[in-house]
Structure 1
Amino acid sequence: MTLPADSLDGVALDAPTLLQLARDVLDTEADAVRQLAPRLGEPFVHACRLLLACRGRVVVLGMGKSGHIGGKIAATLASTGTPAFFVHPGEAGHGDLGMITTQDVVLALSNSGETAEILLILPMIRRLGVGLVAITGDPKSTLAREADVHLDASVAREACPLGLAPTASTTACLALGDALAVALLHTRGFSREDFSRSHPGGKLGRRLLLHVADVMVKDDRLPVVGEGASLTEALLEITRKGLGMTAVVDADGRAVGIFTDGDLRRVLEKVDNVRTVGIADVMTRGGVRIRPDVLAAEAAQLMEQRRINALLVENADGRLIGALNMHTLLDAGVI
């Protein structure tokens, strides 16, 4: 791809200026978020109590950029144990208000606190008798005054040099929404297992849901030789199964050791004729074991900590039932 020139339509694209503008934006938005913390107090606690007591769902409202932030807040709440969804205020005034029930709590977002579409449906929301939490940038606004709880997300200035585009204000609102979600998550005792149930897809879901039993090589694909096998027989088994290792078992099927590609390189440095060597003489005795009910992500962590590339999997009786290596975990999307 051809990189753009240093100017565009006669406007200089000065690298130091571009970088300074970007740094100013990040500094402004970081300051806006930092200024939220000292303001937190009883209103935040009251908001958390309202949301925790909700028997229905949290209905998030917001127009324009606040609506985009509201959608993300609703998604974060829903994925961390607080059922929530986003309703567009403009659509709410044309029928979608019926999505709000008397069991719900409304979380309304508006930087000005005077968003016409929200104020239009405010009387109907109040008539339902539902709790109303407002996040605005103006504590004296109509929405702030009408809400059961108001959370102040005001900012000193926008990061936009024109002072017009919602930038620092939307970042502050998003951060405040995250603060609510995390506070609720902790209070509910929401666990990693709970989190995994709402994230079954993608890499995150695989890391949280997959156990060693789900990804290990087993049955006919499991490389294994008896402890009386020769090194040559072990090498043939490693080649056939393609796992870069073989388990070594005794007559009862219990693993007594492991032999890997790395072990082979070390043997070749010391032995002139591999045909005369028994696997029991060169294997790594014992080997690191893991149970099948352990999370696959923990298996990856164990291998990294021990600086090894393969694990043997044994059941509660100590019998070998599988094996895995880093490539197995990579193929499963765990790492």
Structure 2
Amino acid sequence: MTEFPLSGFEPGSPADLASLPTLTSAQSTLAAEIAGLSALQGALAPSEALGAAFAEAVACIACGRGHVVVSGIGKSGHIGRKIQATLASTGTPAFFVHPAEAAHGDLGMIDTNDVILLISQSGETSELAALLEHAARHALPVIGMTASTGSTLAKASTIVLPLPRAPEACPMGLAPTTSTIMQLALGDALAIALLERRGFTANDFGAFHPGGKLGALLRPVAKLMHTGDSLPLGTPDMTLSSVIIEMTRKAFGCIGILDEGGILIGLISDGDLRPALDRDLTTTCAREIMNHAPITTRGDMLAQEVIHLMTARRKAINSLFVLDDEGRPAGIIHLHDLLRTGIA
């Protein structure tokens, strides 16, 4: 095993890391890539070639009836896979075709309604030839993302997204760094522009991301709430002794007070009940101590919105009634229900 001398540096020691050449290198890399992104942002102005082509590409994809077929080789291929994944997760059907596999049968995956997005910094990637020939044969629109407007890819593309020239962060100018960051950023911009054009919502996003913390955040509260006999409910004339029994049985720390039509007109929480315990519990009624304007939510409200509603106050709300369109309790959600989903 090779040992690397650390010249007096010991893990955990209070060494002056800011003086290490490594950090200077890292800052230079980021500076070069930031400069590239700045150039890209400027090139997206309406008066610039990229700006006009970008708007045309968004319209082409949005009006299409098929998928966006993304392809590229090497580093551009890795970026292409991420762009494809972002498109698909934000409402634009897309899949990635490896250019080498395309020539060995994967061209059959491409439909006559699809749009092809090809990525190549030089625009002279020979592996893309089969895809370009297939697109020409079937009159499929090709969007070419390249830094060379005179390249083979640019000449064969229906729409060219010309990336501005910017120095690579690599000191030798060889390793794709700045260029791939720009490709990735332009792909993100394309996906978000399409998302906004389609009116893609947080609920739609949640439907495509049902797993993990993100899925929990985007889950409608209707899928997490307690319903039916679990709800702690009472009437305005209910005595405090009965209120205490119902609150204890249901264990949500509150009780919803309904009118004769089943509409929620008030709420009694633990905090409302404690100051009233010195009253006669058998004669004092719920209407006398209830909160007449309780905070509530709707079933279509997302979990991330509900947890903010419950915790953004000076005193957090532990339980929240979920009402239907007419104001009747459809369910109740406890703060612990949200936390158990992995939101926080």
Q: Which residue of 2 aligns with 1:69?
A: 79
The one-letter code of the counterpart of 2:37 is V
Which of the residues 329, 333, 342 maps onto 1:324? Answer: 333
Q: State the alpha-carbon separation in 1 of the partners of residues 199 and 330 from structure 2.
A: 35
Which of the residues 320, 324, 340 maps onto 1:311? Answer: 320
Question: Does the CA-based 8 Å contact 1:62-1:118 persist in structure 2?
Answer: yes
Q: 1:184 to 1:283 in 2, by over 3 A?
A: closer
Q: Which residue of 2 aligns with 1:3?
A: none
Q: 1:55 to 1:291 in 2, by over 3 A?
A: closer
1:115 maps to 2:125 = yes
Q: Which residue of 2 aligns with 1:238?
A: 247
Can you give the 5+ residue segments of structure 1 that lack an aligned partner in the other structure?
A: 1-7
**Structure 1 residue 106: Cα displacement:** 1.4
1:23 maps to 2:36 = no
* Post-superposition CA distance 1:274-300 (Å, at most 9, x none): 868846344433422344454444433
Q: State how 1:55-94 maps to structure 2 within 5 Å.
A: 55-94=65-104
* Post-superposition CA distance 1:240-284 (Å, at most 9, x none): 32222222445665544322233356x28xx66886884634443
The one-letter code of the counterpart of 1:170 is T
Q: State the alpha-carbon separation in 1 of the partners of residues 59 and 262 from structure 2.
A: 57
1:50 maps to 2:52 = no
The one-letter code of the counterpart of 2:31 is D
Can you give the 5+ residue segments of structure 2 that lack an aligned partner in the other structure?
A: 10-15, 44-49
Q: State how 1:1-335 maps to structure 2 within 5 Å.
A: 9-12=4-7, 15-16=17-18, 17=20, 18-39=22-43, 40-119=50-129, 121-210=131-220, 212-231=221-240, 233-249=242-258, 253-264=262-273, 267=275, 278=284, 280=286, 281-304=288-311, 308-309=316-317, 310-332=319-341
Stretch moving more, 273-282 or 291-300: 273-282
* Post-superposition CA distance 1:37-70 (Å, at most 9, x none): 2223322233233323433222111111111110
Q: 1:160 to 1:312 in 2, by over 3 A?
A: same
**Structure 1 residue 107: Cα displacement:** 0.8
Stretch moving more, 96-105 or 28-37: 96-105
Q: 1:189 to 1:314 in 2, by over 3 A?
A: closer
- Secondary structure of the 2:272 match is helix
Question: Does the CA-based 8 Å contact 1:160-1:167 persist in structure 2?
Answer: yes
Q: Percent identity?
A: 45
Question: What RMSD over aligned residues (CA atoms) do the two structures have, in Å?
Answer: 3.2
Question: Does the CA-based 8 Å contact 1:56-1:103 persist in structure 2?
Answer: yes
**Structure 1 residue 111: Cα displacement:** 1.6
Stretch moving more, 287-296 or 161-170: 287-296
Q: TM-score when scaled to structure 2?
A: 0.79
Stretch moving more, 311-320 or 49-58: 311-320
**Structure 1 residue 99: Cα displacement:** 1.9
- Secondary structure of the 1:217 match is coil
Q: State the alpha-carbon separation in 1 of the partners of residues 322 and 61 from structure 2.
A: 45
- Secondary structure of the 1:186 match is helix
Question: Does the CA-based 8 Å contact 1:155-1:172 persist in structure 2?
Answer: no
- Secondary structure of the 2:255 match is strand
